[in-house]
Amino acid sequence: MSVVRVAVPVFKGKRKFFLEKGRPWSVVEQVFLVALVAKPATVDELARDANVPRRLVLEALIRLMRASWVELHQEAHGLVFSASASGAAVAENEELPKIAKSMSRWMNFVVDRVTGTLYRTRELQPFERHVVERRAERERLVWLNANEIPGRTDPSSMLSALFSDDERFLSMEQSGERLVERFAVVTVRNGQVEDLPPRAPKALTQAVINAAAKATTEPSGEKSPRVKAQVSIGVSDAVSPSCIKATFRVSDLILGGNSHKQLIVDALRKARQRVIVHSTFVAYDRLTELRPLIFDAAKRGVVIDILWGENEDKDGVVSSRTATSIFRQDVERAGLSDVVRVQAFSTRSHAKLLVYDEPRTGDFFAVVGSCNWLASPFVAYEASARFSDPRVVAPLIQQLADLSCGPSGVWNSLTNELASLADMVRRRRPAQGLSANVAIVLGAQHGHFVRHARDSASRRLFVTSHRMGAATRPAIVVPAAAAVRDRGLDVTAYYGTQSGTVTSSQAATITRESAEAGIQINVVVEPKLHAKVLAWDDDNALITSQNWLSADPDGSNPRSEIGVFIQGHGVAKHIIEHFEVSRRY
């Protein structure tokens, strides 16, 4: 039998969290409560009428009694349960009110320094170096070398790993113990990894197996082999983000400049709780136009957060940093700085996101796409998708929480607020209606969908991009040419302007060579084109912030671009037809 230990480098950390703990009520528990409001009953009667095990009824009743919604009485024919006055008052609610206990707790965690994945310490136990060195004296052991990963943890990965289903995140204490270097020891027995948790990335499992293959035949102590793991850090274009079934209608597509202007105006006019905007660029004159709406919303008690991604320093153009700085002074003069919060730092993201609440239902909407909400004059053709389904909205808010940490990766009060809001939205019940398969797409994952479109499209492939640049060939032309050659796919791409990476003559060459490969690339002068869409056949579309013909992000900054893939009836067809009509009129 071959047994090898692999020492995996990790960071160990500890943070204090504030949370609410309490399991949501099930539909079964609510059904029993409603039944007891109508008529008192014994356990056996409830079990017989519901055709469920007696034990299930007892567990539900005990929990309902702890909430003081069910009472127990001794009668001649046995113990009888009935609804209390408070139980009767809540029984007919759409959902039973959750009874949660507020608490704080220190949580330990480790981050493997090979892939950057976060775990609970019970999933991957950390040891000090000297402990592992002593094991190397008596066991065959290989040291994995650490990759260069940031000494930070994203809120989304931390909360998903550390919190249980019955726990709701409220906030994290911003100060915490410094991350310290430790090692987890993983056993490889006859080529099979034994000690990694099931959710560990395949890349880590393979790195451990590869390292074990380098082990010496006998324990080697301080001369034990050291192996570099060949693993890419960050989001990879080789990994497809998982799709979920979410409520979505074709009417949730936001197309054209004016529709985007109307959307942000309506959001600011109607919101009662929150408006969160992430705009790549910010222009002061656009903020000035929206200022009356922003200030009116703030006076209604709406908390408005403005985040921005990149600083556009050009001659004669007021940069995003300067624009936000001046507007922050306007807010302070108006006495609204507590509720209109303008971030002072760049998130280094090209993403465009808008989140706001709908006062009639209390639901939250999230919009993702191409529109620079705080810089656009709303005259260019834009494309975005709006979601109300909490299964999409919550993860998008979580992306904003991650972005709010800024380049330093330090949690702040806004990070806590957004992470808590995401957790609250995630627990809402989705509305019924037409649905689509939806996936949030980050950074380098966009490359996966180009290949997916190349391999799965049967009739047509459609691309719009604000810019056309040097990335046109590798990003779109090369993958699409294979589909044109093999299946006669109709491939058409449109762009609005050239990026600085190509000259006019180079752009003409790319266009000509693409045409020879059966791919039509057209410049659009009117209306100005700013939309970023990859669509194929009738039902598949990826709406994003990424310029398909000029950008090719790597995995080092996952949120440099954020988009959403939608597979739903007629989604691509509607986008293509709307764009073609807009070009003609």
Q: For the chain, how many structural domains are there in total?
A: 4
Cα distance between residue 86 and residue 549, in whole Å = 61
Point out the domain boundary residue: 212, 228, 244. Answer: 228
> Does residue 11 sit in the same domain as residue 48?
no
> How does pLDDT run across 64-94, given as a tens digit for each residue?
898 889 998 888 777 899 999 888 888 888 7
> Does residue 7 sit in the same domain as residue 53?
no
Query: Nearest 5 degrees, angle CA 232-CA 238-CA 243?
Result: 125
> Does residue 219 sit in the same domain as residue 317?
no
With 0.75 as the threshold, say if the pTM is over it. Answer: yes
Cα distance between residue 140 and residue 473, in whole Å = 49
Q: Which two tokens stand for residue 204?
A: 């880590």
CB 9 within 8 A of CB 112: yes
pLDDT at 284: 94
Instruction: Write down the H helix ranges in 92-242.
Output: 129-138, 155-162, 202-212
User: Phi then psi for 204, rounded to 5 degrees?
Assistant: -70, -45
The residues that bridge with 567 in the sheet, in sequence order, are 437, 540
- 286 Cβ contact partners less than 8 Å away, ≥ 6 residues apart: 374, 375, 376, 377
Concatenated DSSP letters of 266-277: HHHHH-SSEEEE
To which residue do tokens 């056993």 refer? Answer: 187
To which residue do tokens 């992000």 refer? Answer: 553
> Does residue 281 sit in the same domain as residue 365?
yes
> Does residue 63 sit in the same domain as residue 107?
no
> Does residue 302 sit in the same domain as residue 266?
yes
> How does pLDDT run across 111-120, given as a tens digit for each residue?
999 988 899 9
CATH number, domain containing residue 314: 3.30.870.10
Point out the domain boundary residue: 396, 425, 452. Answer: 396
**What's the rounded mean pLDDT across residues 520-546?**
94
In this structure, the strands spanning 303-308 and 340-346 are parallel
Amino acid at 356: Y
Cα distance between residue 482 and residue 495, in whole Å = 21
> How does pLDDT run across 126-166, given as a tens digit for each residue?
999 999 999 999 999 999 999 877 666 677 778 888 887 77
> Does residue 69 sit in the same domain as residue 116?
no
pLDDT at 267: 97
For residue 317, pLDDT over 50 is answered with: no
The rounded Cα 485 to chain-centroid distance in angstroms is 36
Give Rg (Cα) of the chain.
Answer: 28
Average pLDDT, the chain: 89
Whether residue 415 lies inside any domain: the answer is no
Which is nearest to 553 in space by CA: 445, 467, 400? 445
> Does residue 204 sit in the same domain as residue 68?
no
> Does residue 147 sit in the same domain as residue 66?
no
CATH number, domain containing residue 33: 1.10.10.10
Q: Which residue range forms the structural domain that includes residue 497? A: 438-584
